[in-house]
Structures are given as C-alpha cells and as structure tokens.
Amino acid sequence: QVQLVQSGAEVKKPGASVRVSCKASGYTFTSFYIHWVRQAPGQGLEWMGRINPDSGVTNYPQKFQGRVAVTRDTSISTAFLDLSRLRPDDTAVYYCAREEYVNFDYWGQGSLVTVSS
Amino acid sequence: FMLTQPHSVSESPGKTITISCTRSSGSIANNYVQWYQQRPGSAPTTVIYEDNKRPSGVPDRFSGSIDGFNSASLTITGLKTEDEADYYCHSYDSGIWVFGGGTKLTVL
C-alpha cells in the first residue's frame, strides 16, 4: 500500500534551517510529483512547492522562493523540504503529499516544526 | 490567483449544505478543482477531485460542481455528524497550486 512517512518533530531557533523528509513506499517513486504543504496552528493549508522526482524539476510559489528548497534522493525514495532563515511564524505542521494527476491522493502524517527562541 | 471560501457553515443532521469556492482571477473552468476534508489532528483526505469525481470510499452524499460565477461548489446531502470537519478547495495554474482558506462545517 502507498505510504508517505515523514521525519519527526523539530524545535529550531529563529534564523536556523530545518530539513523535513518524506519517505515513499508502495509505488514507483519517480512516477508521481511530491508536494509540500504546511498548516500553522489553527490556520489553513498553504502550498510550499513540488518536485518531479524523476527529473528533479521544482516549482515554488513566489512567497517561498529563495527560502525553500525541495529535493529528492531516488535511491531511497525520499523527498526533502529545506526551509531556511526560520521565523516564529514558520511554526506549523508540514505535510508531504503525492500528486496523482491533479489530486493529492496520499499524504504524510505531518511533521511539527516549532520555531522559538 | 486566490480561492475564497466562507469561513464557516453550520446545519442540522439530515440537511444539505453547499460550500462555495470562488476564484479571484482566471477561469475556474480552465483548471480542475479538488476538495479535501480535514478532521482535527489528521492529514487532509480527498472527497472530490477533477471538479466532480469521488474517490472510492467517499459516499455519494458528496458532490462537486463548477458554477456560473467563477466558482466551484461542494454539496453534502443528508448531513451526518461525522461530516463535521474543515473543507478546503484546491486548484492550480501554470505550475502554481493554491488552497482556499477553508470552511469549518459544524453539524449540530
């Protein structure tokens, strides 16, 4: 069965960087885009970017360009989200999701990142 | 572009509700709309994809449509208490993906 398993919770100080991983199993990793979506406490969903695991090509919304990088390691079927220059308002649950055509059909369990001095 | 949803909707069990999702620019008909349900503490799950398709396991009480005011709608008939959740619309354009702000459905 398809699974996306994310790395655990992180606590970071303002200005630091964080890496969240998303390990895929149960399907051919290179056949489906992986997206990253975050959700601040009590807030809605916010799209952060995506990667084509086959080519490595990425797309980001303008808000995060320069501060977010999405990469992958096909040898371990894992996608990564790197977020730099962390601020307290980056505190959120970060999700990875698989895209089947236009639908985000499978999601990871979420990884809580807390940014606090 | 942005997708705008009502902040909250409430209705009684057995009734019907409709949640709207209005696109701010560009035609909503040009790119598929998805709807996700999210219960507290859980990841979102799809209830409608490609405007009006239901994944297996989603009851036919859930339906989606594209309307005439550059909007999409999610309709839930025969409301059940288990439908109480947050609902998000979702679409894309030119490689950029957008979520609506979410609608909190209360079934009381």
Fill in the amino acid letter for B26.
G
Which tens digit of pLDDT belongs to each residue from B89-98? 999 999 899 9
| Residue B17, beta-bridge partner list | B76
Q: Is the Cβ pair A102, B34 closer than 8 Å? A: yes
Residue A61's pLDDT band, with cuts at 50, 70 and 90, is very high
Pairing relation of β-strands B8-11 and B103-107? parallel
Q: Give me the pLDDT at residue A13, please.
A: 98
Return the CA Rg of chain B: 13
- Averaged over B42-68, what is the pLDDT? 96
- Averaged over B58-63, what is the pLDDT? 98
Nearest CA in chain A to B92: A102
pLDDT at B68 over 90: no
Interface test with B, best of A37, A64, A68 (most B CBs within 10 A): A37
CA distance linking residue A36 with residue A82, whole number of Å: 10
Q: What's the mean pLDDT when you consider all of chain A?
A: 97
pLDDT at A71 over 90: yes
Q: Is the Cβ pair B43, A110 closer than 8 Å? A: yes
Which tens digit of pLDDT belongs to each residue from A8-54? 999 999 999 999 999 999 999 999 999 999 999 999 999 999 999 99
pLDDT at B42 over 90: yes
- For tokens 């354009």, the residue is B93
Interface test with A, best of B46, B97, B98, B104 (most A CBs within 10 A): B97
**A79: distance to nearest CA of chain B, Å?**
18
- Averaged over A84-98, what is the pLDDT? 98
Q: Is B101 exposed, middle or buried (0-12, 13-18, 19+ CB in 10 A)?
A: middle
Interface of A with B in 4-43 (CB under 8 A): 35, 37
- Averaged over A51-61, what is the pLDDT? 96
CA distance linking residue A23 with residue A12, whole number of Å: 22
Residue A18 and residue A112 in contact, taking contact as beta carbons nearer than 8 Å: no
**Cα torsion A113, A9, B92, B85: sign:** negative
pLDDT at B69 over 90: no
